[in-house]
Amino acid sequence: VLVPENNFLKSPDSEKRRVAIFGSTGSIGVSALEVIRANPESLEVFSLAAGSNTGKLAEQISEFKPEFAVIGDESKLKTLREEVAGRSPATKLLAGERSLIELAAHPDYGVMLAAIVGFQGLPSVLSAIKENKHIALANKESLVAAGSLIKSMLADSQAVLLPVDSEHSALFQVLQGENPKTLNRLILTASGGPFLHASPGELDAVTPAQAMKHPKWSMGPKISIDSATLMNKALELIEAFWLFNCESDKLDVLVHPQSIVHSIAEFVDGTQLAQLSVPDMKGPISFALNYPNNRLPNVMRALKLEEVGRLDFYALDHARFPAIRLAREALRCGGATPAVFNIANEVAVDLFIQRRISFPGIMRLIEESLERHSSHNYQSEEELYSLMVEVKKDIIDRN
């Protein structure tokens, strides 16, 4: 795990932890604000940041009165100022990617919640790593695209990455106090998404609205579509590879439609430890934000297994859902291939939302992009950004 060993022993903070939320208006950001609202003696908002939703950001600013608020889209700064209009006079309002990077490096916050969606979340995460921050990472695309870079930067830093993704949080929780050498396997559970049992003909006709309706979780549009293609689980496999330093042959996926068992660690003695809860991201968010302090109260409804009744588990049909196989191939190729895998998915999801490609077209586009761009490498952050611009352009031109 990318948490230095001494951190497990760190004594609890006596002060409130100040949280810098990147992506505050999204599904994860809003859940994090609920956790903070319910735990004012442990957590407080230091800063808020969003892409373009000025109305929602202005409401959050007037409730939480942060020191800073950033709107990613610079053309929206004027509107944001008008909407805040004196409701939080001490909040400094900023805009643009540079401001996000500078805010991520600010000395006065305790933990970053990285909840911007997509590769565009990477610069602020890297900025926080350079400043030795604690980072509660929801933005899995960053770690998938830049895993090797992040790992080498962490080696020279006191920064700590704490998983927010529910599967990785589950594993992080069950691995507390265990010896990594006794680990046999990590099993990521997958709900299977809305089309687990759909026929190929039905998949051809899937609309963006259908793909965005997840049976168990309420999430942002991009991750909902990723769950329907199983690309979410594929990204999570790569995420687990980096977070837990775990080879891909020790990472498995198990379909579990009820989304109650959030993942399972298997040890050399045959024991499996799992973490269970209702499907609610406030659980993993609160665990990461307050780690290594105690668990917080008033977070989720307690699970009543007698109401759930049964828990089902199935093997994934890899012929119908090729995403996991492609993730393993991307890891095997190494270099920039996981970044290509991620960016191809981001482009494909956008094209699908615009109804320019079909639902099965998403996986075809990703597979074709991997074939075309499997030999790239990068040495620096800048090289990775320019390579992604180039690959993205090539994919869009061909579709």
Per-residue contact track with Mg ion, 123 to 162, x per CB under 5 A?
A: ----------------------------------------
Position among 7, 62, 120, 358 found at the interface with ligand NAD (CB under 6 A): 120
Q: Which long-range contacts (CB under 8 A, 24 or more apart) does 250-253 make?
A: 250/183, 250/184, 250/185, 250/186, 251/185, 251/186, 251/188, 252/185, 252/186, 252/187, 252/188, 253/187, 253/188, 253/189, 253/190, 253/316, 253/324
SS3 183: strand
Position among 141, 239, 280, 346 found at the interface with ligand NAD (CB under 6 A): 141
Scanning 43-51, 103-111, 261-269, 373-381 for contacts with ligand NAD by CB under 6 A, the matching segment is: 43-51
Q: Output 53 or 337, the one with its CB closest to ligand NAD.
A: 53
β-pairing, 272-276 with 261-267?
antiparallel
Q: How far is the CB of 44 from Mg ion (least distance, A)?
A: 27
Per CB under 5 A, 165 contacts Mg ion: yes
Q: Output 42 or 227, the one with its CB closest to ligand NAD.
A: 227
Per CB under 6 A, 346 contacts ligand NAD: no
Which residue type is seen at 116?
I
What are 71's strand-pairing partners?
50, 95
In this structure, what are the phi and psi dihedrals at residue 274, rounded to the nearest 5 degrees?
-125, 160
Task: Kindly calculate the radius of gyration of the chain based on its CA atoms and give it in whole angstroms.
Answer: 20
Residue showing tokens 């590879």: 241
Q: Output 35 or 138, the one with its CB closest to ligand NAD.
A: 138
SS3 93: strand
Residue 29 exposed, middle or buried by CB count within 10 Å (0-12, 13-18, 19+): buried
Q: How far is the CB of 118 from ligand NAD (least distance, A)?
A: 6
Per CB under 5 A, 239 contacts Mg ion: no
Scanning 179-187, 221-229, 258-266, 290-298 for contacts with ligand NAD by CB under 6 A, the matching segment is: 221-229
Applying CB under 6 A, which residues contact ligand NAD? 23-29, 49-51, 53, 72, 100, 115-117, 120, 138-141, 165, 217, 219-223, 281
